A and B are shown apart, each in its own frame.
Chain A
Amino acid sequence: MTDLGPLIPRNREIHPVPYDPGYKTSITRSPNLPLLSMESTPSEETGPRFGHNLLGELDNNLILNWTKGAAPAVGERILVHGRVLDENGRPVPHTLVEIWQANAGGRYRHVKDTYFAPLDPNFGGCGRTITDENGYYEFLTIRPGAYPWPNRGNDWRPMHIHMSVFGHSFGQRLITQLYFEGDPLIDRCPIAATIKSRSQLDRLVAPLDMAKARPMDFLAYKFDVVLRGRRQTMFENKLEGM
């Protein structure tokens, strides 16, 4: 195994605080004691790889994948696209990106979701793809609706899409949420507010991208993701993933 250099330590300042009473569930699910820090080891610097043979033809098309192409989901048709990069600005090619979301009415297809907005018989709500050689990914989907949740008396999640990204090492593993430009619920959401820096939260808000919208078909939103990079020297000057 070529030593690609240790992972750049996480800057925990940009991430959400683990304990945030505004987000009630975090109260009992956040460690009290400090994390144990040390330089990364091969256990964090290596990780699983997934090949294109994993993917079905419609895996990144949530409008059609639930019905295997037989009937489209109802809602605002959108393309969600972007790049996966590392902190050194290098693309992260050939990595698995998974997304999940509610339907246009804010209802999840999950045994535990009892919100009375109806399920869309033509919408499942999950998709996956693998970034190309330049780190690009794209999904075709419908824009999810906002939905209420039992936190404080009248809390509603903004429209959002959950995203899980692997990178090339287990220490890069990241799950986050994509929000949509202009949604007034973002400023009222206790989960969004677990990120204490407004400029960091803004990085989760996908702008409308008319250049990628397809006339008479779908709008587009752009969402780039940055994963941890490796600390490199002249003597560790290897491309990510090489």
Chain B
Amino acid sequence: MTQQLDILQETPSQTAGPYVHIGCVPTFAGLEGIYPEDLALSPIEDGAKGEIIEITGSVYDGTGWAMRDAMMESWQADAAGIFPGSEGADPKVSGFCRFTADKETGIFTLRTVKPGATKGRGGVIQAPHISVWVVARGINIGLQTRIYFEDEDNSADPLLARIEQRPRVDTLIAKKTAEGKYTFDIRLQGEGETVFLDI
């Protein structure tokens, strides 16, 4: 016998299901008015410092179908690379957004400020990125990924550097389509499968 470890285990995840919107995005489900407004409709307020950008895309399942029922959440630093809640952070940046794809087209839009590079442990610099969490019917535990930007220097980013198969790095890079506009698709399975994270 050994001593007992004094540690609890995380609660197991379960799928968010097809009706996740009732609890998380009530107006999407048809519950207008239960709250004054849905939670975290935007990660920024007017006056946020930095470049305002729009990222559009879809979440595709293994058959190439753009999912209509996924819910996404994003978390990011401000334009100076400071996370909200930390000293010196831009008060107009909450950094957190909850969004869904359009019911008809399956296209989502995230309007935010382009984040700055952030400092990791030991002074390591992470290239500008937005963390994303995807839940939906059929996803048993939420999928974590990141959006990087093709017009930034990603060469020294420690996470991208860890991706062994270099062509897969591309699945985490948003493509610029116009000034302040990017596209970023998430492919859950199969050809061009997005790199998902366990961190």
Interface residues, chain A, CB within 8 Å of chain B? 1, 3, 6-7, 9-12, 14-18, 20, 23, 25-33, 35-44, 46-50, 54, 56, 59, 65-66, 85-89, 98-101, 108-113, 124-128, 162, 164, 170-171, 173-177, 191-192, 194-195, 200-201, 203-204, 224-229
B interface, by DSSP: helix, strand, loop or mixed?
loop
User: Is residue B18 contacting chain A, with contact meaning CB distance below 8 A?
Assistant: yes
Contact B131 A174 (CB under 8 A): no
Q: Which residues of A contact B75 (CB under 8 A)?
A: 43, 46-48, 170
Can you give 13 A-B contacts (C-beta < 8 A)?
Answer: A25-B138, A31-B143, A31-B194, A32-B62, A33-B195, A35-B197, A37-B198, A108-B19, A113-B19, A126-B26, A175-B20, A201-B12, A226-B11
A10 vs B197: C-alpha distance when bound (angstroms): 11
Q: Which residues of A contact B167 (CB under 8 A)?
A: none
* Interface segment, one of B28-36, B48-56, B106-114: B28-36
Indicate whether A46 sits within 8 Å of B18 (C-beta atoms), given known contacts A36-B162, A111-B30.
no
Contact B84 A48 (CB under 8 A): yes
Indicate whether A204 sits within 8 Å of B14 (C-beta atoms), given known contacts A43-B131, A173-B142.
yes
Q: Which residues of B contact A226 (CB under 8 A)?
A: 8-11
Nearest residue, chain A, Cβ from B159: A38
A167 vs B77: C-alpha distance when bound (angstroms): 18
Contact B73 A173 (CB under 8 A): yes
Contact A110 B13 (CB under 8 A): no
A229 vs B10: C-alpha distance when bound (angstroms): 8
CB distance from B86 to the nearest CB of A (A): 4
A226 vs B119: C-alpha distance when bound (angstroms): 29
Q: Which residues of A contact B18 (CB under 8 A)?
A: 110, 112
Contact B14 A191 (CB under 8 A): yes
User: Is residue B6 contacting chain A, with contact meaning CB distance below 8 A?
Assistant: yes
Count A-B contacts at CB 8 Å.
267
User: Is residue B139 contacting chain A, with contact meaning CB distance below 8 A?
Assistant: yes
Interface size on B, residues (CB 8 A): 79
CB distance from B192 to the nearest CB of A (A): 11
Contact B30 A110 (CB under 8 A): yes
Nearest residue, chain B, Cβ from A9: B198
Contact A195 B12 (CB under 8 A): yes
User: Is residue B156 contacting chain A, with contact meaning CB distance below 8 A?
Assistant: no
Q: Which of B11, B16, B65 contacts A204 (CB 8 A)?
A: B11
CB distance from A160 to the nearest CB of B (A): 8
Indicate whether A31 sits within 8 Å of B196 (C-beta atoms), given known contacts A100-B19, A100-B23.
yes
Q: Which of B16, B35, B137, B198 contacts A36 (CB 8 A)?
A: B198
Indicate whether A41 sits within 8 Å of B141 (C-beta atoms), given known contacts A29-B61, A29-B188, A126-B34.
no
Contact B196 A110 (CB under 8 A): no
Q: Which residues of A contact B35 (CB under 8 A)?
A: 56, 59, 128
Contact B11 A20 (CB under 8 A): no
